[in-house]
Every structure is written in structure tokens, then in C-alpha cells.
């Protein structure tokens, strides 16, 4: 099974958060998808940001999130904007 921290954009903190929400492998992350994984993380970390969402999508696609296509980034931005919670 794929190790989460071997994926691009997944450092120790995000890997731990994924583990905390029940995602332990790269295959599980791909199966769950970036949006659902991000929603799960946001439930335990209301400060989860747009960049984290893009990082998860990039990890699933095997690329740095900066290189995601602009139309996909726009879709993710819209998803983020409609699901973010105010935590301040």
C-alpha cells in the first residue's frame, strides 16, 4: 500500500491529519477523493485552507498542487468557498 508521505504535497502534518480522519494509505486517499478528505480534515481543523485542498488533489494526481490546471483550481476554489467554516 502507498505511504501517504510519499505523495507530493503530503508532509508530516497533513499525513497525520489524514490518519486522524481514517485515511491511512495513498489508495484510501484516491478512493475518498480530495474534496471528501478535505471536509474530513476541516472537521478536526477548521483552519484547513484552500491550499490544503489543492495539495490533496495534487497528491492524488501525483503532482505539485501549483501545477494543477487553472480550471481545476477554479473548481476547487469554488468548492472551498462554499464549504469553509469561520473559525475566528
- The model's confidence at residue 88, banded by pLDDT at 50, 70 and 90, is low
Query: Could you tell me the residue ranges of all domains in the chain?
Result: 4-83
Question: SS3 for the chain, per residue?
Answer: CCCHHHCCCCCHHHHHHHHHCCCCCHHHHHHHCHHHHHHHHHHHCCCCCHHHHHHHHHHHHCCCHHHCCHHHHHHHHHHHHHHCCCCC
Check if the beta carbon of residue 22 is closer than 8 Å to that of residue 41.
no
Q: How confident is the model at residue 87 (pLDDT cuts 50, 70, 90)?
A: low
Burial of 79 (0-12, 13-18, 19+ CB in 10 A): middle
Under CATH, which architecture does the 4-83 domain have? Answer: Orthogonal Bundle (1.10)
| 28-59 confidence digits (pLDDT tens) | 999 999 999 999 999 999 999 999 999 999 99
Instruction: Give 14-28 pLDDT, tens digit per residue.
Output: 999 999 999 999 999
Give the pLDDT score at 85. 84
Amino acid at each position: 500500500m502507498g505511504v501517504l508521505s510519499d505523495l507530493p504535497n503530503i508532509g508530516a502534518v497533513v499525513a497525520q491529519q489524514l490518519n486522524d480522519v481514517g485515511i491511512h494509505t495513498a489508495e484510501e486517499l484516491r478512493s475518498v477523493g480530495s474534496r471528501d478528505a478535505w471536509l474530513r480534515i476541516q472537521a478536526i481543523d477548521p483552519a484547513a485552507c484552500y491550499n490544503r485542498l489543492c495539495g490533496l488533489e495534487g497528491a492524488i494526481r501525483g503532482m505539485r498542487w501549483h501545477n494543477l490546471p487553472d480550471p481545476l483550481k477554479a473548481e476547487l476554489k469554488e468548492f472551498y468557498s462554499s464549504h469553509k467554516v469561520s473559525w475566528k
